[in-house]
Amino acid sequence: MFPAAAVLQVWFRDLSVNEALNTLAEFCLEKDEQGSIRLKRDHTLYYQVQMQLFVTEKPYCDFTLWTERENTSPFVEHVTPNRQYFKIMVNSEPEVGNMLVSV
């Protein structure tokens, strides 16, 4: 049995993670100040993950990115709910807040 988590997989077939990091500005991952790779906090996929976490009331999401170009394990980031981000998201997009209230 799987733990109570949401899972999101993104298939990125043509580039390795490092190639995409170096060539695609709109790529969903970035390197943080310490050089670790993480999901961009201003990317639509981060928004999607946060929305999934709050709507489903799950404790975390294992965001997974797999490419055919790499022989290593897929990239996985353990993402937990970001309440401050979610508040900003709901307040800045009234239709999201209205949708959540009516559910």
Task: Say how many domains are in the chain.
Answer: 1
Classify residue 1: in a domain, yes or no: no
Q: How far apart are CA 3 and CA 102, in angstroms?
A: 28
Q: Is residue 59 part of a domain?
A: yes
Q: Quick check: helix, strand or coil at residue 7?
A: strand
Structural domain harbouring 50: 6-102
In a domain, 45, yes or no: yes
The pLDDT value given to residue 13: 66
Domain contains 33: yes
DSSP 8-state symbol, 80? -
pLDDT at 102: 45
User: How many residues comprise the chain?
Assistant: 103
Would 92 be classed as within a structural domain? yes
Please, what sign has the CA dihedral across residues 8, 28, 71, 34? negative
pLDDT of the chain along its 103 residues, tens only? Answer: 455 556 666 666 678 888 899 999 999 999 999 999 999 999 989 988 998 888 888 888 889 888 877 777 888 999 999 999 888 877 777 665 555 544 4
The whole model's pTM is what? 0.76
Say whether 89 sits in a helix, a strand or coil: helix
